[in-house]
Amino acid sequence: MFGTLQRDAPPVRLSPNYPEPPAAAIPTEDSANFAEQPKLMSAALVKAAKQFDALVAALPLSEGGEDAQVKRIAELQAENDAVGQELQRQLEAAEKELKQVQELFSQAADNCLNLKKPD
């Protein structure tokens, strides 16, 4: 944010002993919007803060303290392990079935090639 302000800020006289900074011949769109940038940035910051607060408010409250959370984590881990084992069994069954289908396809392809008349 500060880099943007420094980059887009109009020149400022540092001391009466220094010459006047050169004026821009044609005001650019960036310099024209310079006055609006702090307002836009402030509005974006406020909006982000409100969104953050809304997200924090939507989080479930922990009930029962740390011991209850540890117990719940252990339960969820056990459930995850059980589901993982079931998925592994299903994967192994699917791989076995795939091998059977591939063997049957290979046999069918061989049978089709053997039935073809030689030219």
Domain ranges, residue 111: 62-119
pLDDT tens for each residue of the chain, 119 residues long: 566 777 777 777 677 777 666 665 555 566 657 778 888 889 999 999 999 999 988 887 777 788 888 998 999 999 999 999 999 999 999 999 999 999 999 999 888 888 766 55
Q: For residue 63, what is the DSSP state?
A: -
Asked if residue 81 and residue 42 are part of one domain, the reply reads no
Predicted TM-score of the model (pTM) = 0.41
* SS3 state of residue 22: coil
Asked if residue 2 and residue 54 are part of one domain, the reply reads yes
Asked if residue 78 and residue 42 are part of one domain, the reply reads no
Where do runs of H (alpha helix) occur along the chain? 2-8, 29-32, 37-58, 65-115
Which of 28, 59, 90 terminates a domain? The answer is 59
Q: CA 111 to CA 73: how far, in whole Å?
A: 56
Q: What is the pLDDT of residue 116?
A: 64
What total number of domains does the chain contain? 2
